[in-house]
Amino acid sequence: LRVVRGSVFDVVVDIRRSSPTFGQWSALEISAEKGNQILVPKGYAHGFVTLVPDTEILYKVTDTYSPGHDRSIRFDDPAIGIRWPALPGGFQLSDKDRNAPLLAEAEVFA
């Protein structure tokens, strides 16, 4: 993933139950100005919040998108404890993200 315009606060979470780092997260700011990018490995959840209006993101993926395999976890799950940046006006969430299960209840990798 890379940002072609604007910037995002980008987060990955290990969702492999058998992993010693299960539930741990890492974050970084990705921006067009910095030119940085991230590769999200298999077995990790991925999310981001845009930091400026009109941000554009470019994804490269290993296969064709399959909506039937799409899963979510709560962005504000206290068991994960992601420290999201404060945004004026708060977050605008999709219904899918607003209703996502906690990690303990989510369908994740073994």
pLDDT tens digits along 61-100: 888 988 888 889 999 999 999 999 999 888 899 999 999 9
Per-residue pLDDT at 65: 87
Rounded to an integer, what distance in angstroms lies between the CA atom of residue 91 and that of residue 35? 25
Q: What's the predicted TM-score (pTM) here?
A: 0.92
| Domains assigned to the chain | 2-105 (2.60.120.10)
pLDDT level of residue 108 (50, 70, 90 thresholds): confident
Computed from CA positions of residues 64, 16, 45, 67, in that sequence, does the dihedral angle turn out positive or negative?
positive
